[in-house]
């Protein structure tokens, strides 16, 4: 699944267009490498992204096939790190 779709389906970002724009601005990394919006995500990938004033690092434990309810979304990932960004 594409990284922009996955971030949106798992409710990690508000909209897919926000996820795509973050990828276009090099704010999203997969396994330490800058990701394009079309980059494919597989199980056990680690996604790092900077949005909403936070640095987030999540491990994908499972890739959903269909849409996921907001309540069940956390079953598909594990938050490894979340730090507030310091604004200059």
The closest alpha carbon to 46, from 59, 63, 64, belongs to 59
Tell me, yes or no, if the pTM score tops 0.85. Answer: yes
Residue 30 is part of a domain; what is its CATH number?
3.10.290.10
pLDDT single digits (tens) 11-52:
999 999 999 999 999 999 999 999 999 999 999 999 999 998
Give the domain extent around 69.
Answer: 3-84
* Spatial distance between the Cα atoms of 36 and 18, rounded to a whole number of angstroms: 13
Contact 59/42 with Cβ under 8 angstroms? no
Domain count of the fold of the chain: 1
């Amino acid at each position: 699944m594409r990284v922009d779709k996955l971030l949106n389906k798992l409710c990690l970002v508000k909209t897919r267009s926000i996820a795509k724009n973050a990828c276009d601005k090099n704010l999203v990394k997969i396994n330490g490498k800058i990701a394009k919006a079309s980059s494919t995500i597989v199980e056990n990938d680690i996604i790092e992204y900077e949005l909403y004033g936070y640095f987030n690092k999540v491990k994908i434990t499972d890739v959903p096939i269909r849409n996921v309810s907001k309540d069940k979304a956390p079953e598909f990932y594990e938050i490894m790190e979340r730090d507030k960004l310091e604004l200059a």
